Structure 1
Amino acid sequence: MRIAGKIVVSGLALVVFAGTAYGYATLQSLEDITRSNVIDSPGGATPGEQPADGAVDILMVGRDSRTDKQGNPLPADMLRELRAGDSADDLTDTLIVLRIPNGQQAVQAFSIPRDSYVPIPGGGKDKINSAFGRAKLAEAKKLRAGGESDKGRIEEGSLTAGRRATRQVVEDLTGVTIDHYAEVNLLSFYQISKAIGGVQVCLNQATHDPDSGANFVKGEQKIAGADALAFVRQRKNLPRSDLDRVRRQQVFLASLAGQVLSAGTLADPGKMGALIDAVKESVVLDQNWDLLDFVARMRGVSGGGIKFATVPVVNPDYRYNPAHPTWTAVQVDPEQVETFAAGLIGAAAPKPAAGSGKATVDVSNAGSTEGLAGRVADVLKGKGFTPGPTGNAPTRRTSLVRYPAALADEAKSIANDLGGLTTAESADVPAGHIEVVLGSVYSGPGVAAGGGAALGAAGGGAALGAAGSVAARGAARTEEPPITSAGENCVD
């Protein structure tokens, strides 16, 4: 059975958060956790360091793996309990970046959809979750060709290559320098969720999906083990498929954070011991992570001090391969994603690429999506254009980019940036200006609240309240409430 989108990777970070109250002595037992040479920096983020990009950044990865951390296959009875089948692609089905700003206690986290279509280390473009498996396979072939015959060394070397490729592709997309890496698989998620006695979640409606094993009633409920895994991996029968699954993962992580940091869990040695044992058994960290230093950094973080977002999405139903018109991916704009990630900690937006247009762009909204003109103007500002007036226009269905003859190249660039809009030369457009009219069927960048390129930089933490994506099939979606570890987060 093909499982897509399996794991929320929060357990390790939350155990360490909890350690601020549970005690250094117990956390020292985590020092024998499995390590992997993932980070290039000789020392990682050292105690007291203020990283140049403004935050200590942790990449948390969930792997679609049916093995333990030594690479041994999980027993058949465990696979049946997980409803996972006995085989899977070597994919990273969950990617979450945790940003801890320099000198601040507000922790920001954002998800990258597993199907984001991006350049992959080693050449070409593919879905971001394929980077791990491609690099792992290539390294295994290289080692064998070089004469290595020890299966353990081949497995260890190829896993390291997969992890490093995953780190690299996330850095390339987001502009964030990853300081630390944490990885879990099916087994570790199962054990972590059970260790604390289940996690409280809330659904807007009852849902059922035989593929994932999801079978949930409407309203609040506590889930653990296989049910928790089904909750975060379900994508069928959800309004936005993979994008709603990402939001499920964020909600589960938020609830788990709140529960781990609650007095009831922190004061229960049995739960804390089981949680730490689960982490030790199946979580993998980078080679440089000083957990005790991390605990010191996290002092003062409360259950409500973690906020969650999703990177901006251009098109969630992107047909990326003309030879296979039914194949879909999630289209993202790296410039938007980089600006969004920087804005979460109030950092300056990345500089526009050399040669970008300098025209003044006036944006008007000829549809019914509230705030659309302003968000699209922010997108174009992030690409180097000068923002002009924004407002409304008479209703029209399609979008149009109007320009004077001297600005034909800039107009074409804008039309492409916004998803391939129609262009028209017009003597009525003032010199030095380009006019963008957004029709009622517009579905490009900025269509959803939180999805604009410059919103994160301009609005700082306010951008966290949105899902950062567009609804399936291009329909606009109203702004969603923020997901925090202190909130009551009810989702589809």
Structure 2
Amino acid sequence: MHALGKIIIAGLALVVFGGTAYGYANLRALDDVTRDSVIDGEDDAQPGEQPADGSLDILLVGRDARTDPQGRPLSPDLLRELRVGPNGDDLTDTLIVLRIPNGTKAVKAFSVPRDSYVSMPGGKGKINAAFGRGKAGEAKRLRDAGETDKAKIDQGALTAARRATRQAVEDLTGVKIDHYAEVNLLSFSEISKAIGGVDVCLNEATKDRNSGADFPAGPQKIQGADALAFVRQRDNLRGGDFDRVRRQQVFLAGLARQVMSAGTIADPGKLSDLIDAVKRSVVLDSSWNLLDFVAQMRGVSGGGIQFETIPVVNRDYRYDPANPRATAVQVDPAAVKAFAASLIGPAAAPSAPASAPASSPAAAVTVDVANAGPKTGLAGRVAGVLGEHGFAKVTTGNTGSRRTSLVRFGPDLARQGGEVAKLLGGLTTQESSSVPAGHIEVVLGTVYSGPGAAGGGGAPAAGDEPITSGGVVCVN
């Protein structure tokens, strides 16, 4: 949804990539943007950041909030203009991570569905609830400690909420977040208007009362309240939230393309309006030096941002036996971590975690993973899942087509083979003396749907085009 926050800042960086004095002078005006202490060790940020994990990682957060960055309520007139009701919540409707590998200009962005069911302080829940839990918990702690200043309580609670959201994303993805950007309904509308709209395309006409969406099929340029409706709609879409994730991605790709276009770069009025809109409505972490970021990102092309979605296990996960109608998105944290890691380098199995030392039985086994189906990169993603569970020696390859999956092993590795089969969703096992000693063979059939099956997120349906900032992709 309003993930737009950081591609805006990334876009603003790209806007001044030409290095013009005008661009730098205006970017310095962003010193007035709202800041918050969201990132640990903020005083350690250095120019030209080259993080130890190999990638500069930026968390984009979109909130369904009816307030400005300082927590002040939006006016009734403005809410009517945005086509939203007066009652918001403390949920995060958009979570997108930008991965910028050290020394490269290939920006990878991936979405985390807001209903992903994860472990958090206070118990398991949907990841979009981390913000509200952190906010409520800190507000209570401050009041219990005797704080009576409402402004201090509110600000402390917001900071805790943002940090809780950052932590939840880090815990799920294994990505160390270096910077944070947050936008709300107002910022989304204002920034899209500032650049003169964004080009999008719909496969078919759609209308939805709840979001205010009313769009024809085909290419179109949207801004303001229409842009907000475009990325908020999930009712009357075949894929529900997953179609909405695609909407968010295609909008952000178009936004990045528009910001980086000559029409924005060469137009002082648009550039000034864009910077003013960001200053009014975006929250950034305290350590983010935007001028350094501009210099570091110099050279990224208009098509240099690629969007994906984390792998999911079950879109319709019934997580509460006491309430069978309650649903969430089931995810495998190991598969998500392997997917995120694969975005900044060749697909490879991560090293064994601390819980599986090199001397463990899992670490001593070699698992040979072969893809017998058409899914590109499947063996590599499954190898990453196994690596996260302590199988440090994993090879990948392809084999002849096969419908069902199979785990084969010698008599001495029956226990480890059974563990592999269980980790991958309960695959069929077969004991065979033809398997080389010390090896377990995994064959992934065409109907494999276990951890790692959803490459690039698994959210897009078959035939969906990849989304990049290089061109307009039609979506539902």
Alignment TM-score > 0.5, same fold: yes
**Inter-partner Cα distance in structure 1 for 2:2 and 2:292:** 30
Q: Which residue of 2 aligns with 1:457?
A: none
Q: What does 1:316-327 correspond to in 2, within 5 Å?
A: 316-327=315-326
| Inter-CA distance 362–470: structure 2 relative to 1 (3 Å threshold) | farther
Q: Which residue of 2 aligns with 1:391?
A: 399
**Inter-partner Cα distance in structure 2 for 1:287 and 1:376:** 35
Higher deviation after alignment, 233-242 or 259-268: 233-242
**Inter-partner Cα distance in structure 2 for 1:266 and 1:40:** 34
The alignment status of 1:378 with 2:383, answered yes or no, reads yes
Q: Which residue of 1 aligns with 2:200?
A: 201
The alignment status of 1:412 with 2:411, answered yes or no, reads no
**Inter-partner Cα distance in structure 2 for 1:306 and 1:469:** 19
Q: What does 1:164-183 correspond to in 2, within 5 Å?
A: 164-183=163-182
What is the aligned residue count?
Answer: 462
Of the candidates 446, 453, 465, which is equivalent to residue 481 of structure 1? 465
Q: Which aligned runs of 4 or more in structure 1 are off by greater than 6 angstroms?
A: 426-430
| Inter-CA distance 44–215: structure 2 relative to 1 (3 Å threshold) | farther
Of the candidates 18, 24, 45, which is equivalent to residue 15 of structure 2? 18
Residues 335 and 452, structure 2, Cα contact 8 Å, conserved in 1: no
Q: Which residue of 2 aligns with 1:83?
A: 83
Shift of 1:134: 0.2
How big is each residue's C-alpha offset from its partner over 1:369-394, in whole Å with a ceiling of 9 and x where there is no partner? Answer: 55587456535553425337643466
| Inter-CA distance 102–200: structure 2 relative to 1 (3 Å threshold) | same
| Inter-CA distance 70–478: structure 2 relative to 1 (3 Å threshold) | same
| Inter-CA distance 382–479: structure 2 relative to 1 (3 Å threshold) | farther
Q: Which residue of 2 aligns with 1:31?
A: 31
Residues 379 and 396, structure 2, Cα contact 8 Å, conserved in 1: no
- Amino acid of the residue matched to residue 350 of structure 1? P
Q: Which residue of 2 aligns with 1:458?
A: none
| Inter-CA distance 440–56: structure 2 relative to 1 (3 Å threshold) | closer
Q: Which residue of 2 aligns with 1:55?
A: 55
Shift of 1:119: 1.6
Shift of 1:265: 1.2
Shift of 1:337: 2.1
Q: Which residue of 1 aligns with 2:458?
A: 469
| Inter-CA distance 44–485: structure 2 relative to 1 (3 Å threshold) | farther
How big is each residue's C-alpha offset from its partner over 1:424-469, in whole Å with a ceiling of 9 and x where there is no partner? Answer: 6667866545454656654222334xx1xxxxxxxxxxxxxxx421
SS at match of 2:244: helix
SS at match of 1:240: coil
Q: What does 1:85-484 correspond to in 2, within 5 Å?
A: 85-120=85-120, 122-346=121-345, 349-353=349-353, 354=356, 355=360, 356=362, 358-361=364-367, 369-370=374-375, 374=379, 378-379=383-384, 382-383=387-388, 384=391, 386-387=394-395, 390-392=398-400, 395=403, 401=407, 403-423=409-429, 432-436=438-442, 441-448=447-454, 451=455, 467-470=456-459, 477-478=461-462, 480-484=464-468
Shift of 1:301: 2.0
| Inter-CA distance 357–67: structure 2 relative to 1 (3 Å threshold) | same
- Amino acid of the residue matched to residue 321 of structure 1? D
Structure 1 length-normalised TM: 0.86
Residues 379 and 397, structure 2, Cα contact 8 Å, conserved in 1: no
Residues 116 and 128, structure 1, Cα contact 8 Å, conserved in 2: yes
| Inter-CA distance 407–393: structure 2 relative to 1 (3 Å threshold) | farther
- Amino acid of the residue matched to residue 11 of structure 1? I
SS at match of 2:264: helix
SS at match of 2:16: helix
**Inter-partner Cα distance in structure 2 for 1:349 and 1:439:** 20
Q: Which runs of 5+ in 1 are unaligned?
A: 452-466, 472-476
| Inter-CA distance 418–78: structure 2 relative to 1 (3 Å threshold) | same
| Inter-CA distance 199–441: structure 2 relative to 1 (3 Å threshold) | same
Residues 315 and 443, structure 1, Cα contact 8 Å, conserved in 2: no
**Inter-partner Cα distance in structure 1 for 2:431 and 2:74:** 63
| Inter-CA distance 470–73: structure 2 relative to 1 (3 Å threshold) | closer
Shift of 1:141: 0.4
| Inter-CA distance 105–370: structure 2 relative to 1 (3 Å threshold) | closer
How big is each residue's C-alpha offset from its partner over 1:54-82, in whole Å with a ceiling of 9 and x where there is no partner? Answer: 12221111111111112121112222222
Q: Which runs of 5+ in 2 are unaligned?
A: none
Structure 2 length-normalised TM: 0.88
- Amino acid of the residue matched to residue 411 of structure 1? G
- Amino acid of the residue matched to residue 419 of structure 2? S
| Inter-CA distance 8–402: structure 2 relative to 1 (3 Å threshold) | same
Q: Which residue of 2 aligns with 1:64?
A: 64
- Amino acid of the residue matched to residue 173 of structure 2? T
- Amino acid of the residue matched to residue 97 of structure 2? V
Shift of 1:133: 0.7
How big is each residue's C-alpha offset from its partner over 1:284-316, in whole Å with a ceiling of 9 and x where there is no partner? Answer: 111111111112112222212222222222222
| Inter-CA distance 66–162: structure 2 relative to 1 (3 Å threshold) | same
**Inter-partner Cα distance in structure 2 for 1:352 and 1:208:** 49
Identity %: 62
Shift of 1:263: 0.8
| Inter-CA distance 415–327: structure 2 relative to 1 (3 Å threshold) | farther
| Inter-CA distance 324–282: structure 2 relative to 1 (3 Å threshold) | same
| Inter-CA distance 237–352: structure 2 relative to 1 (3 Å threshold) | farther
Shift of 1:419: 2.4
SS at match of 1:202: strand
**Inter-partner Cα distance in structure 1 for 2:444 and 2:56:** 39
- Amino acid of the residue matched to residue 446 of structure 1? G
